[in-house]
Each structure stands twice: as structure tokens, then as C-alpha cells.
Amino acid sequence: MFNSVFPISLIRKAFPALNHDWEGNPVIFFDGPGGSQVPDTVLSAMHAYLSQYNSNLGGAFYSSKVTTDLMALARSHISNFIHAEQPDNIVFGANMTSLTFQMSRTIARDWQPDDEVIVTKLDHYANVSSWQQAAQDKGVLIHQINVRSPECDIDYEQLANKINKKTKLIAVTMASNTTGTIVDIKRVVALAKSVGAMVYVDAVHYAPHYLIDVQDLGCDFLVCSAYKFFGPHIGLMYIAPKWLNTLTPYKVEPATNVGPGRFETGTQSFEALAGLIACIEHLGALGSEHQPLRQRLEQSFQQYQDYEHQLSEYFLAQLQRFPQVKLYGHSSSQVARTPTFALKVEGKDSLGIAQKLATCNVCIWSGHFYAKGLIEQLQCEHLGGLLRVGLMHYNTPEEIDAFFDYFRQCLE
């Protein structure tokens, strides 16, 4: 079933966390949707910056010049990672949530009381609460789109019915951080553009698994956090060219009013930017070394995607041995999805199961995962919410076997 060409052993060697035991036993990291492990090249890059070049932007001295060049290179790498038009379309911040709250206030400056905004029940609430609160501040009507069962996709028909000429913005996830469901963003963008509305995309859960192309999507904004795709704790945002210099951000008066810097409040985490550059290079490492970065990323991600598809197929096959477990989301590996699985065991407390698995060094999450609307619509708030098993391309079929062995013991 598994492609023996995929260099899983080489990949795992790059991650220090995957090569140590805890209290004498191996650890299974199936907690990727909450934060991935980090390769050693990222750690080395962050250490090297802090130990040799720690500075701020704009100085005439060497360490400041290195830092200025570092930030430009980070913009260039992320521009390649998401296929932005120019590096200047990339903005950095603390994380996706902070960037979204900040940008929601900027975008909402010109909203009027008869305007409307659309969010979804599939989203992490970083992409819901930020817009709900901005709408409340401006007296704007907000609609929340339901989720369709059992695949846990957004209700596109309801979305189409809610969109009208008053719609100013649609905030939508690219992939559910709970069920792994992938949303048809191009379909959402087409609906939005028919009435001149903006589209704000949360790609946090999508980014570790599939390569992003913002030009192909046609979205106005896209955000994600690097710690979800093997990097440090730093957020990044794409702003489409038409908005880069036309929006009016909240900022301190002396700060630049040109380019992406006008959206970046305070001093950035330059050590995280150093790690981010190394992270993107790591992600492109399976491509042909003489190819440009974007092509290396495309070649690498195709291999990650193929391998993760095999992991999903294997996990779903093993899950069929547990009829008492309900899966939320696509149950077929033939449908495009991330290898993230939302489970509910009949009559069992999800938190209790996660705690038992933790004693076996199996790392998984339980609860609502900040997808409050989804959990409420699925009526899964009781007994600890859902169990979430999240695989990455550094996981193995042997780990899946071990997980299900421990899982069976927890249910006995």
C-alpha cells in the first residue's frame, strides 16, 4: 500500500522530537493540527540569528543590515510558498489570530450599518469572533453558514442565498482544523466577486498538507501560522495588491505608511523569521535542488500529498474495526481531505480517552479545538467534545498500528 520511494526515515531524522523517548518509551505525535514538530535546521537558524545578529531594522551597522536582508528574504520565501504576486504582499505578525483581529478592525473602518458579513460554522473562531465583534462595533448584520453532514463541508447553497449586494466580506476556512474537510475556496471567491465582496481565507490547517496558490484562488486575504507547518511561532498574511496601499491600518504615526510594513505593528520576531526561511527550505527539500524555490516546493508537496493520502487510506481502513466510533468528515480516502480525523466514541468521554492515550505517550487532542460553531451544530459538546487524530508527513503506518492497539485498550 505504501510508496517505498518516499524517504520517511530521512524525514524523521530531521526532527529531534521524533528521535527521543519519554520516560523510556517512544512518543507518537498525532497532535499535528494543534502544532507540528520542528526540524533541526529551523532550530539552528533561530539560534544562529540570536547569537550573532540580534538587532532591529534600519540601522547603518552590520547586524541591522543583516536583519533587514533577513526580513526581505523571509517575505520572498513566503511569497514563493503561497505564490503571491510580490514579496511585498506578505505581512508578518504574532500569529493568525492576532493578525486577523488586527485586520478585521482595518477592513471594518468603512463598514456601514446596512452592510453584511458572512462567516461559517466550520471555521476556527479566530476567523469568526474577530468578524462578529467588528460587525457588532459597526452595527453590521452578520450571517453564519451551516455545515452539511456527514461530510462536514460548508453549505454552499445557503452561502449563495445569503450573498447579496450588501455583502462586504466572506470569512472562510480553507480546511477544517477539526474534520480535515477541504473547502472549495474558488467557488466561494466566485460567489463573492459576483457582488464585489472581499474573501478572507484561513489557511492555517491547509498549509502543512497542500501547497497554496493565492493567485489561482483569487482571494483578497489569506492567513496562516508557521508553527502549524513545521516552523516557529509566527503568523503571516497575504494581502492582494489592490488592498496593500488602499486600506488604512491602525498604526503608530511615525511608522512607515508604505508597503507591508504599514500593517506590521511593533518589532517583529526576527529570530522566528530566520526559522521561517529555514522551514520553507526544509519543505522544498524533496524537489530538484537546481530548480527555483517554487518548483522545489511543488515537487516536494506532491510527494507529501501522495504519502499523506496513503496514511489517510490506511487510518480509515483500520478505523472500520471500531463500529462504536463515529467519524465526522469524509470517510473516503478518495475525497480530497487532510489526514485529520474527528472521532466520537459512543458513551465514552473524549477527554478521558485522550488522557489514557497520553499515558502511552500518544499525543492527541480532545475538545472543541476552537471550532465552536461546528461542535455545537454536530451536538458534540457533551462528554469532552471530539477526539482529534492529526497525521503529518513525518508519521508512519507503524505509528497508526500502535495507536489503534492503544485505542482498543482504552475502549475495553
Q: What is the 3-state secondary structure (H, E, C) of 251-293?
A: CCCCCCCCHHHHHCCCCCCHHHHHHHHHHHHHHCCCCCCCCCH
What mean pLDDT is predicted for residues 125-136? 98
pLDDT in tens, 70-102: 999 999 999 999 999 999 999 999 999 999 999
Is-contact 74 83, C-beta < 8 A? no
pLDDT in tens, 201-246: 999 999 999 999 999 999 999 999 999 999 999 999 999 999 999 9
Q: How many CA atoms lie within 13 A of 67 on its CB side?
A: 22
Residue 378 lies in a domain: yes
What mean pLDDT is predicted for residues 139-157? 95
Nearest partner of 135 among 167, 93, 176, judged by Cα = 167
pLDDT in tens, 23-76: 888 999 999 999 999 999 999 999 999 999 999 999 999 999 999 999 999 999
Q: What is the pLDDT of residue 1?
A: 62
pLDDT of 359 above 90: yes
Supply the CATH number for residue 346's domain: 3.90.1150.10
Query: How many Å separate Cα 353 from the centre of its chain?
Result: 26
Residue 319 lies in a domain: yes
What mean pLDDT is predicted for residues 345-352? 94
The three cell numbers of residue 150 are 456527514
Residue 308 lies in a domain: yes
pLDDT of 183 above 90: yes
What confidence category does residue 114 fall into, taking pLDDT thresholds of 50, 70 and 90? very high
pLDDT of 332 above 90: no
Percentage of the chain exceeding pLDDT 90: 94
What confidence category does residue 2 fall into, taking pLDDT thresholds of 50, 70 and 90? low
305 CB-near residues (< 8 Å, 6+ apart):
209, 210
Residue 261 lies in a domain: no
Residue 183 lies in a domain: no
Residue 394 lies in a domain: yes
> What is the number of structural domains in the chain?
1
Residues shown for the chain: 412
Nearest partner of 7 among 222, 244, 254, 303, judged by Cα = 303
Residue 398 lies in a domain: yes
Give the sheet arrangement for strand 141-145, strand by strand.
Answer: 90-93, 235-239, 221-225, 198-202, 167-173, 116-120, 141-145
For residues 159 and 186, give the distance between their C-alpha atoms in angstroms, rounded to a whole number: 13
For residues 353 and 61, give the distance between their C-alpha atoms in angstroms, rounded to a whole number: 56
Average pLDDT in the chain: 96
What confidence category does residue 401 fall into, taking pLDDT thresholds of 50, 70 and 90? very high
> Which residue range(s) make up the domain with 298?
8-36+292-411
The kind and range of the H/E element at 116 are: strand 116-120
What confidence category does residue 398 fall into, taking pLDDT thresholds of 50, 70 and 90? very high
Q: What is the pLDDT of residue 3?
A: 63
pLDDT of 336 above 90: no
Phi, psi angles (nearest 5°) of residue 394: -95, 0
Percentage of the chain exceeding pLDDT 70: 99
Q: What is the pLDDT of residue 66?
A: 97
pLDDT in tens, 262-282: 999 999 999 999 999 999 999
Q: Is the peptide bond before 150 cis (omega within 30 degrees of 0)?
A: yes
Is-contact 41 281, C-beta < 8 A? yes
For the entire predicted model, the pTM comes to 0.97
pLDDT of 150 above 90: no
Q: What are the CA-CA distances from residue 305 to residues 66, 77, 298, 334 (Å)?
A: 35, 21, 10, 13
What mean pLDDT is predicted for residues 301-313? 96
Lowest-confidence region among 1-15, 158-172, 221-235, 381-395: 1-15
Q: What is the pLDDT of residue 24?
A: 85
Residue 192 lies in a domain: no
The more confident residue out of 149 and 189 is 189
Is-contact 350 385, C-beta < 8 A? yes
pLDDT of 412 above 90: no
